[in-house]
Structure 1
Amino acid sequence: MTTAKAIIGARIFDGIFWHDDAALVFADGRIEAIQAADRLRTGIETIDAGGGMIVPGFIDLQVNGGGGVLLNEEPTVEGLSKICAAHAKFGTTGLLPTLITDTYAITTKTVEAGKRAKAERVPGFLGLHLEGPHLSIARKGAHDPKLIRPMEENDIELMLSCRGKFDAMMITVAPESVTPEQVTRLAEAGFMVSLGHTDATYETAKTYAEAGARTVTHLFNAMSPLGHRQPGLVGAALDIGSLHVGIIADGIHVHPASMGVALRAKNGPGKIFIVTDAMSPIGTDMTSFTLNGREILRQDGRLTLADGTLAGADIDMISSVRFVHETLGVPLEEALRMASVYPAEAAWLAARKGALKPGFDADFVILTDDLCMKSTWIGGRKVHQE
């Protein structure tokens, strides 16, 4: 047993309510209570936050790289550790490092590295997100079309080898390359099957949702658009209540007006949650990097191929929260939920992550009143201090 600690001196947002003049008490990596600061038991170690707010740690279900590392280029335990550490500096306490479409050999290497990273308890590492290679070439975005292909039995067997190995596991697929039966097998094995990079119609998306698809990858980007007679995947994502929906909140991938419309239109219980879709430059001064042998340029907040195609995003999670709150005018509480509560719900983690409740993992972030970072805590351990 470790000594319990209590953090005082900041407002606490538990995911639903604010607590003033309160202390966050935690021990052995779990939250014990949120209680009145003047009623702490004698002898407990007390830490003064010095103002600001304590909020649930952010959960990012789509992050391709960070700290100078792109998962495709460094599919190792070390690479995964560097990505997780880079994003912890921006409030992310749990993430799914994401492999962009690559060869079967690289995918296998990434899966094996992920299993080792989980066994070694890399801080913040929840599991993997495999974005492809089973996508639509017509909606490839920055994915290499030479590597896109239909799902085969050996792919499913590789996925099934992950059963029980991770806290969460996600795969983005297109109906053009995957059958409903394959989706069902993956869903029954515990995968979040996400629809993306597809020209799927509303009707097709509904069929795949009924087969077990749970989420939609980066709403509006690389998918059939919303039309008045053909709702497409965008229409399906907003209309079908069982679907949880990721969105990139950088003001570049999606116009703020479109984001606002989507947030107002989404049927529940599935919610829209923030993903960064971040690449290797996050936390660095890099101006370019390589993906599948192609140069990606970083300029003015954009990451693009030479032809101008967007290739991931140049944003972190706290910046995304600020954008949603300050630019879109979303209440702060809801902006915070989009980065914590809602991704936890999408990933079946809401019984222990995404909120500050007794028994939950002590994953939290201390912020200034103007939403700048102060510190990040994972499992009750401070992993970053500004």
Structure 2
Amino acid sequence: MGVILIAEKLFDGERILADVAITIGDSGLISAVGGGVSSDAERLPGLLVPGFIDIQVNGGGGVLFNQEPSVNALQKISEAHSQFGTSAFLPTLITDSFPVMQQAADAVSGALSSGVPGVIGVHFEGPHLSEAKKGTHEGGFIRSLSHEELSLYAREDLGIRLVTLAPECVSVSDIRKLVSLGVHVCLGHSNASAEVVEAALDAGATGFTHLYNAMSPLHSREPGMVGTALIRDDAWCGLIADGHHVSTGAMALALKAKPRGKLLLVSDAMSLVGSDATSFPLFDRVVTREGDKLTSSTGELAGSHLDMIGAVKNIRDWCGVELPEALRMASLYPAQFLGLGAGVITEGARADMVLLGEDLQVNRTWSLGREIYRRN
């Protein structure tokens, strides 16, 4: 029959309901919502919501994926982010050498086959980026797309594959090739003109990595990547709602410009999330945390110290987004972008769920029906 839980309150992705039974099957999918329940079913006080899906996780729990591309590292990152409601994520490797990319791919494959909770694929953020908009990425590793990298991106044992690239650095034909291989292509770290961005979208790119950051800005006579991202209703945009990468005014503009469902909350989290450390090495630099801001020793922002429940709270508190919509931005919309059967608590969906208490405190997290975090 499966495991039956009774939610005091349930947000199914659309509505908030009271006293609802959820049955989780052996496959880790939800087999029923509602219906009769047995007296020994576990009751869940608080608000049960769909689990958060983070498409940009560089690290957590003291581990940076670039520095430790292993299955064990992914387990630590999963544990770190589960306490903040993340039930599914894409481990993200920023620009690095090809051998490190291979190690990261093998780690993701191993994590998927061994069932590391939450790992659903991989995000390669680079190395095919613009030197002018590299941000904290290591310039010495930025390079053109090669046959060996195409072969790596084609690996079907990697689950969901996402590649962030600068469209002025990768041809339209290669973007089409990536899409034909089943790769999700996002545009970012780019100084491209609007014309070049439009061509990449028409070739099959579907999203933008961390809207506003490390991309050609909107000008009166040239929309740039920022303007094109806001104009194109068919494109998804990731948003780092930490108050450092994007101002509240810029967030409000994006919320007005983009159709509902096309803005995704992302963490862009580095290794310090879920850790007490205040600094870490990044290539030949040191990244230091002051409050919740990460700054490289060369002066630029270096990822974030944001987690997904923090992003939900911020977009609600700073921009007036109603809680149900803020939750969708962290769950349903990333699921729709990736084509993942999650982001809702309905029959047939992944049993990825988060139990929230007072002030949106994360009390429990499930991934594919398996409890992966319980507070205290």
Summarize the Cα distance change of 1:301–1:177 in structure 2 as closer, same or farther, 3 Å threshold. same
Find the partner of 1:139 among 127, 133, 138.
133
Structure 2 CA distance for aligned equivalents of residues 10 and 233 of structure 1? 45
Is this contact kept in 2: 1:102–1:292, CA < 8 A?
no
Identify the match of residue 243 of structure 1 among 222, 232, 235.
235
Contact 1:238 1:267 in 2 (8 A): no
Mapping for residues 1-386 of structure 1, pairs under 5 Å: 3-28=1-26, 29-35=28-34, 40-42=36-38, 45-50=40-45, 52-160=46-154, 162-163=155-156, 165-267=157-259, 271-349=262-340, 352-386=341-375
Q: Output the CA distance in 1 between the equivalents of 2:228 and 2:259.
A: 10
SS in structure 1 at match of 2:360: coil
Letter in 2 for 1:144: E
User: Following the alignment from structure 1 to structure 2, what is the Cα–Cα distance between the partners of residues 167 and 249?
Assistant: 27
Output the CA distance in 1 between the equivalents of 2:259 and 2:29: 33
Range moving further from structure 2, 277-286 or 239-248:
239-248
Specify the SS of the correspondent of 1:49.
Answer: strand
Question: What is the Cα deviation at residue 66 of structure 1?
Answer: 0.2
- Compute the displacement of 1:9 (Å): 4.5
Work out whether residues 72 and 100 of structure 1, in 8 Å CA contact, stay in contact via their aligned partners in 2: yes
Residue-pair matches, total: 374
Separation in 2, partners of 1:87, 1:192: 23
Q: Deviations over 1:49-68 (max 9, x none)?
A: 12x20000000000100000
Deviations 1:337-383 (A, max 9, x none): 0000000111111xx21111101111100001421111001111211
SS of residue in 1 equivalent to 2:326? helix
Moved more, 329-338 or 299-308: 299-308
Distance 1:358 1:65 in 2: 32
Large movers: runs of 4+ above 4 Å: none
Higher mean alpha-carbon deviation, 170-179 vs 69-78, is at 170-179
Deviations 1:148-191 (A, max 9, x none): 1111122112211x23x243110100023211111111111111
- Kept in 2: contact 1:341–1:355 (CA 8 A): yes
Shift of 1:27: 2.2
**Paired residues of 2:7 and 2:22 also in contact (CA < 8 A):** no
Cα deviation for residue 108 of structure 1 reads: 1.1
Query: TM-score scaled to structure 1, two decimals?
Result: 0.94
Q: Secondary structure in 1 aligned to 2:160?
A: coil
- Once the two structures are superposed, residues 231-287 of structure 1 have per-residue CA deviations (whole angstroms, 9 ceiling, x without a partner) of 11111111112211101011110001110110110146x601011000000011111
Q: 1:228: how far off?
A: 2.2
Distance 1:300 1:369 in 2: 24
Cα deviation for residue 86 of structure 1 reads 1.0
Secondary structure at the residue paired with 2:41? Answer: strand
Moved more, 374-383 or 55-64: 374-383
Question: Contact conserved, 2:185 with 2:204, CA < 8 A, in 1?
Answer: yes
3-state secondary structure, aligned to 1:169: strand
Structure 2 CA distance for aligned equivalents of residues 24 and 42 of structure 1: 12
Q: Taking structure 2 as the reference length, what is the TM-score of the superposition?
A: 0.96
> Where does the alignment leave 5 or more consecutive residues of structure 1 unmatched?
none
Q: What is the root-mean-square deviation in Å for CA atoms of aligned residues?
A: 1.3
